[in-house]
Amino acid sequence: MTPVFDTYSAYYDLLYRDKDYVAEVAYIDELLNRYGKDVNDLLEFGSGTGIHGKLLAMKNYKVTGIELSQKMSDRAEKLEGFTSQQGDIRRVKLERTFDAVYSLFHVMSYQTSNADFSSAISNAAAHLLSGGLFVFDFWYSPAVYAQKPEVRVKRMGSEQVSITRVAEPEIYPNENRIDVHYTVFAEEMPSQRHQVFSEVHPMRHFSLPEIDLFAESAGFERIGAEEFLSGEEPGEDTWGVCVILRKS
């Protein structure tokens, strides 16, 4: 067993090669324009391997990424307009403010306890002036209850490596938490050398009233909530909801 996103980082970009980061960045750009005014200077919470940050920098945003895993952060491409540094979104203090904070691909659902989630959302507020935006997505409780997490197998491959990832959920109904047990089998080419490793990713799911409670106590008001990417109204079939909070 390795720390979350440690060994995983080596295979992260390949595992999510099918994720449409370009469409996601177009969506975030549209949200920032819809809800904000002259938004340019962005703070990213949980910037991972830096793909959103890089693509937003290519749209002329200035992005500062904070990422807990040093190994994930090290993989981020350095380019003008985007920096990535190791840090914890619950407590990092950059001693400056930004036009907006964003956090994508369920980073906020990794903040599983009330204390952790509350610290992260308050820390977003601390890096914004009044009127600043905090945009993030998270696992949505109504969909988790209606659909129930199940065992999933994902296979991805490149010329260098072939990967099979098994995701097994363990449900904690009284904590709004699912622990996803990942087992990753990687076969390197052409040596056929095998590596098998496991990580547990604890994920919290939230309802909108819960988000509102955390948001209000951190000094935000919620000004939007929709299905991530489609913009549809959240419902029992919406696993990933995106909220737009404005600092009061």
Ligand X SMILES: C[S@@+](CC[C@H](N)C(=O)[O-])C[C@H]1O[C@@H](n2cnc3c(N)ncnc32)[C@H](O)[C@@H]1O
Q: Which CB atom, from 114 or from 130, has the smaller least distance to ligand X?
A: 114
Q: What is the phi-psi region of residue 225: left when phi exceeds 0, alpha when psi lies from -120 to 50, beta otherwise?
A: beta
| Residue 209: CB minimum distance to ligand X, A | 23
Among positions 39, 42, 46, 101, the unique one binding ligand X when judged by CB under 6 A:
46
Report yes or no: 136 and 107 within 8 Å, Cβ to Cβ: yes
In angstroms, the Cα distances linking 44 to 68, 82, 122, 133, 154 are 12, 10, 15, 12, 27
| Residue 69: CB minimum distance to ligand X, A | 4
The stretch among 44-52, 167-175, 206-214, 217-225 that binds ligand X (CB under 6 A) is: 44-52
Query: N- to C-terminal Cα distance for the chain?
Result: 43
Q: Which CB atom, from 180 or from 187, has the smaller least distance to ligand X?
A: 180
Closest CA to 92 of 61, 128, 68: 68
| Residue 5: CB minimum distance to ligand X, A | 4
DSSP 234: P
| Residue 248: CB minimum distance to ligand X, A | 24
**Residues within window 104-133 making contact with ligand X, judged by CB under 6 A:** 104-107, 110
Residue number closest to ligand X, CB atom:
48
Among positions 6, 41, 88, 187, the unique one binding ligand X when judged by CB under 6 A:
88
**Residues within window 50-69 making contact with ligand X, judged by CB under 6 A:** 51-52, 66-69
Q: Which CB atom, from 121 or from 128, has the smaller least distance to ligand X?
A: 121
Phi and psi for 32 in degrees, rounded to 5? -65, -35
Residue 2: how many other CB atoms lie within 10 Å: 12
| Cross-strand partners of 87 | none
Q: Which residues bind ligand X (CB under 6 A)?
A: 5, 46-48, 51-52, 66-69, 72, 88-90, 104-107, 110
